[in-house]
Amino acid sequence: MKIDQLTTAESDAYMETLTPRQIVAELDKYIIGQDNAKRMVAIALRNRWRRRQVPEDLRDEIVPKNIILIGPTGVGKTEIARRLAKLAQSPFIKVEASKFTEVGYVGRDVESIIRDLLEIGINMVREEEYEKVRGKAEEHAEERLLDILLPTRSPRRPPRRLMGVPAAPGTEEDLEVAQRTRDKFKKMLRSGRLDDRDVEIETQVSALPIVEVFTPAGMEGMDINLKEMFSGILPSKTKRRRVKVPEALQLLVQEELDKLIDTDKVIQLAKHRVEQTGMVFIDELDKVAGSSTVHHGPDVSREGVQRDLLPIIEGSTVSTKHGVVRTDHVLFIGAGAFHMSKPSDLIPELQGRFPLRAELSALTRVDFVRILTEPRNALVKQYEELLDTEGVKLEFTADAVEEVARLAEEVNERAENIGARRLHTILEKLLEEVSFEAPHMTGVTVTVTPEMVRQRLQEIVKSEDLSRFIL
């Protein structure tokens, strides 16, 4: 079976179970509100599975419908994209459009997005392949470590008969004794009784010279991977290291994992996964959109970034050190507040490559209450678990949660509106003293009440200067 067929069969079996309704339900576990955006990305994800079910002659003609998420900071744009990629088990990268510049200017080349995405895909696939052979690798590493701990003749390698002469008398008995000793050490190793012992192991070290390659600004992709070029010429070197048993076992497991997986297969699988299911989240897209009548700084670079982004978004081939990657079916999700500009300020060609747009609403006090308590990773739950590690039980009353949400809304209205990120700042300031003294409060129950919230934060909220700099 071909690599692409194998990858498609595995992903299709999983994706078939994810209907748009189920995708939205999964996103609801982590993101409050923004139902329109969730429905839009759920349909986009399901369409990927649908495309692979259509006849092959039509399959390549169906391109992904890229999305622009419009909304202020802190309302869940990045979280929606990140959770969607994790749900789909897709290679995912988040970049800021403002970090890139037109080729020829100081800054990053937009094609580096795809190169970085491929590296992420390779790491994903490599970890999956590691998990498939981890048990076997741990067994091999354990046996190698036992050979080091017991340098005498190993029962795994019985003496060979030389020229047909049988082994010396007593050999079988010696092997039985060695096997019992080995089994005893294996039990001690697994129970951790040998963790304090030092062992000397040989590890592979790079024999390559240190070479720095300087390339023109924006031309990162033109540098040659000299390490890979020299790796086949210079002989590999080993170095003897003296380390503790757990570290030695870890190093040996990694060596065995590298031996058991096929790197070429990993790269092929990763390239196919990136091309078919890769996702790129381009944040701050509004920063490179500028009205033709109003100039804010280097506009030539802004439009240049858009024109450089256009080929990879509409579909092109990007050269990487692992070969070319086609971007025709990579899903691009753009995002931005679009306060100072509008999506219509993007160049027309780029607008056409983002046919779907979802506007995310600003968060209200009710949303803040839900964010604090409902999601699986709710902030209140996070602080409760963090302090529980110190033996401190933290409890929030319902009224206290309401008060935190009210203060967050008030500060957002008076200062810059940073959405749900304001909750992180307020809770950290609220629980600062408890977090500091927690190691000395084992067994204590701390109940957060509305009075406690007001006492700790009200003065800061009242003072506009303090709230601006502290909250």
In the structure encoding, which two tokens stand for residue 366, read together?
A: 């009710």
Q: Which of 1-15, 226-240, 437-451 has the lowest mean pLDDT?
A: 1-15
CB of 371 closer than 8 Å to CB of 409: no
Q: Is residue 127 part of a domain?
A: no
Per-residue pLDDT at 406 exceeds 50: yes
Cα(457)–Cα(404) distance, rounded to whole angstroms? 9
The verdict on 184 and 282 lying in the same domain is no
Q: How confident is the model at residue 187 (pLDDT cuts 50, 70, 90)?
A: confident
Count of residues in the chain: 471
* Residue that wins the pLDDT comparison between 90 and 164: 90
Residue 143 lies in domain? 135-159+168-262
Q: Is residue 435 part of a domain?
A: yes
pLDDT score recorded for residue 69: 92
Q: Is residue 12 part of a domain?
A: yes
The verdict on 9 and 100 lying in the same domain is yes
The verdict on 313 and 404 lying in the same domain is no
pLDDT score recorded for residue 37: 92
In the structure encoding, which two tokens stand for residue 4, read together?
A: 């692409």
Per-residue pLDDT at 153 exceeds 90: no
Q: Is residue 43 part of a domain?
A: yes
Per-residue pLDDT at 294 exceeds 50: no
Q: Side by side, which strands form the sheet with 331-336?
A: 92-96, 279-283, 331-336, 67-70, 356-359
Of 436, 448, 438, 424, whose CA–CA distance to 388 is shortest?
438
Q: Is residue 128 part of a domain?
A: no
Exposure string for 367-399, b = 16+ CB within 10 A, e = fewer: bbbbbbbebeebbbbebeeebeebebebebeee
Mean pLDDT value of segment 226-251: 72
Report yes or no on whether pTM surpasses 0.85: no
The verdict on 399 and 438 lying in the same domain is yes
Handedness of CA 107, 321, 282, 332 (dihedral sign): positive
Q: Which of 9-23, 56-70, 114-128 has the lowest mean pLDDT?
A: 9-23
The verdict on 108 and 214 lying in the same domain is no
The verdict on 224 and 202 lying in the same domain is yes
Cα(125)–Cα(129) distance, rounded to whole angstroms? 6
11: left (phi over 0), alpha (psi -120 to 50) or beta: alpha
The verdict on 30 and 141 lying in the same domain is no
Contacts of 405-411 with CB under 8 Å at 24 or more apart are 405/365, 405/366, 405/368, 405/369, 405/372, 406/365, 407/453, 407/457, 407/461, 408/365, 408/368, 409/364, 409/365, 409/368, 410/461, 411/461, 411/467, 411/471
**At 453, which CATH number?**
1.10.8.60
Helix axes 112-149, 263-277, angle to 10 degrees: 150
Per-residue pLDDT at 118 exceeds 90: yes
Q: How many separate domains does the chain show?
A: 3
pLDDT score recorded for residue 177: 80
CB of 245 closer than 8 Å to CB of 195: yes
In the structure encoding, which two tokens stand for residue 204, read together?
A: 């592979």
Mean pLDDT value of segment 76-95: 89
- Residue 396 pairs in a beta bridge with 448
Cα(285)–Cα(100) distance, rounded to whole angstroms? 11
Helix, strand, coil percent content, the chain, rounded in steps of 5: 55, 15, 30
pLDDT score recorded for residue 61: 87
Handedness of CA 367, 372, 376, 377 (dihedral sign): positive
Cα separations in angstroms, 346 against 274, 285, 303, 349:
26, 9, 8, 8
The verdict on 208 and 271 lying in the same domain is no
**pLDDT tens digits along 297-315:** 445 467 888 888 899 998 8
H/E element holding 43? helix 35-53
Count the alpha carbons within 13 Å of 327 in the hemisphere toward its beta carbon.
26
The verdict on 335 and 413 lying in the same domain is no
Q: How confident is the model at residue 466 (pLDDT cuts 50, 70, 90)?
A: low
The verdict on 204 and 247 lying in the same domain is yes
Q: Is residue 337 part of a domain?
A: yes
| Count of C-beta atoms within a 10 Å radius of residue 60 | 12
Mean pLDDT value of segment 99-121: 79
Q: Is residue 339 part of a domain?
A: yes
Per-residue pLDDT at 76 exceeds 80: yes
H/E element holding 273? helix 263-277
**At 297, which CATH number?**
3.40.50.300
Q: Which of 225, 241, 262 is the last residue of a domain?
A: 262
Of 413, 406, 357, whose CA–CA distance to 37 is shortest?
357
Q: Which of 262, 287, 321 is the last residue of a domain?
A: 262
The verdict on 172 and 211 lying in the same domain is yes
pLDDT score recorded for residue 262: 92
In the structure encoding, which two tokens stand for residue 322, read together?
A: 């692992």
Cα(184)–Cα(180) distance, rounded to whole angstroms? 6
CB of 253 closer than 8 Å to CB of 138: yes
Average pLDDT, the chain: 81
Q: Is residue 297 part of a domain?
A: yes
Q: What is residue 16's three-state secondary structure? A: coil
The verdict on 240 and 343 lying in the same domain is no
CA end-to-end span of the chain, whole Å?
58
Q: Which of 262, 282, 317 is the last residue of a domain?
A: 262
Handedness of CA 98, 102, 103, 106 (dihedral sign): negative
Mean pLDDT value of segment 281-288: 89
Of 325, 220, 221, whose CA–CA distance to 267 is shortest?
325
